Structure 1
């Protein structure tokens, strides 16, 4: 299992890295279209009732069509104009609010005994992956690859630190009804590590933290690291809630050794739109 997991991770990193370094943007946009639609399909399979499962693929295709529309538009014009305004000025704040208020509320409620249903949850399953990938593309197009990588590393650092801090010091459970393995020690460790990463990476020109530092100072930079790490935990717990309600271990088996696409990006989905709202990119 570990060997399979490592091989899959290496292949994914090579493909994504090659697309990000390519002299043209269409390979990366193509990856974003596929990843967004697959994550949407997995989300809908977890959230829809068994009688509604037939809608998972149509909703995923809708997500892919919206992402493809944005990709084609942006490939020719860049992230500006009417198409960008739709995502940039309307959907990003909406999805960010749904994560901060709606998803956090559901996680705190911790109702894991029945499968999730509801129109709003299904709509969010379409919009959340779309806005996350669109946010990353906007960052890449306007700020560059260092900016995007530094934000992704923030999520990875928080996740790794949370794992080891939880293993070493974890006793008090963070959300036992949703994810019994998560502890307060792990959450605090992840947030501290994220704050440290923000402070360290702020010294590198072109990074996400350097952008925040320029506009907000050191305290705001570290505090934002804490906030985004907390949001990444919400994203992780929210998917755990959906999976527990659906009585499954993984969102799918599309990625050998890793589960599904949603399993790999659950922390990214809430972080990307909120980071976009709080970045200099939002001001262009």
Structure 2
């Protein structure tokens, strides 16, 4: 069982619920509404998001490198597949006023890639050379709660990944900037590298505790 205290379990579950509510509210309200939120509230949201994501990452790492890697791969695979799927088949925009480049086809491609990743991970867990390592990884633990529960969590994590990316785009548009910083030229800034991870990492930890992983 994922060795996380009851208090920590409650924390990551509350964080996941909080992210779902926040993202649904902010993305629904749009770019202009975010700028109308009190500055102190926006700063608090940012600090809380970074703090929770860091704590979740450290905690996932204590469960094993394969656990943390599985959560990170989910975000990376979803993002890459969404990009190429959107370029190949994207017609209908996902959130044109927030991020015109994102499409529903890209979102579906990201979700399909995550399912493929989970299946590939589970299949590779039977290999003699890597099986013992993968068998105790993120997707193996997630699957212990049952296929239906694992599928639901995978789709929620994928949706949070996409929504986290959209949220960061919304914040930048509200601030009237193209990049979140100049530390990573050509990458949109540091926040563009971690935006999807912010809601996903606490939710990934919540998934494991929920499933008894």
Q: Distance in 2 between matches of 1:178 and 1:196?
A: 28
Q: CA RMSD in A?
A: 2.4
1:231 aligns with 2:160: yes
Name stretches of at least 5 consecutive residues in structure 2 with no aligned partner.
126-134
User: Counterpart in 2 of 1:134?
Assistant: 55
SS for the counterpart of 1:263 is helix
Deviations 1:40-66 (CA, angstroms, capped at 9, x unpaired): xxxxxxxxxxxxxxxxxxxxxxxxxxx
CA shift, 1:201, in A, is 1.4
CA shift, 1:278, in A, is 1.2
Higher helix share: 1
1:246 aligns with 2:166: no
1:221 aligns with 2:150: yes
User: Aligned to 1:211, which of 132, 141, 166?
Assistant: 141
SS for the counterpart of 1:182 is strand
For the 8 Å contact 2:142–2:211, the answer to whether it is kept is: no
User: Counterpart in 2 of 1:160?
Assistant: 80
User: Aligned to 2:31, which of 95, 105, 111?
Assistant: 111
CA shift, 1:108, in A, is 2.3
CA shift, 1:147, in A, is 1.2
Structure 1 segment 164-175 matched on structure 2, within 5 A: 164-175=84-95
1:197 aligns with 2:197: no
Q: TM-score with structure 1 length normalisation?
A: 0.64
SS for the counterpart of 1:279 is helix
CA shift, 1:222, in A, is 3.1
CA shift, 1:123, in A, is 1.4
Q: Which has the higher contact order (CA 8 A, sep 6+)?
A: 2
Whichever of the two has the greater Rg, that structure is 1
Name stretches of at least 5 consecutive residues in structure 1 with no aligned partner.
1-78
Label 1:225 to 1:237 Cα distance change in 2 as closer, same or farther (>3 A).
same
Q: Distance in 2 between matches of 1:89 and 1:223?
A: 19
Q: Distance in 2 between matches of 1:146 and 1:215?
A: 18
CA shift, 1:89, in A, is 4.6
Aligned length: 200
CA shift, 1:109, in A, is 2.4
User: Counterpart in 2 of 1:268?
Assistant: 197
1:176 aligns with 2:96: yes
Q: Distance in 2 between matches of 1:192 and 1:154?
A: 11
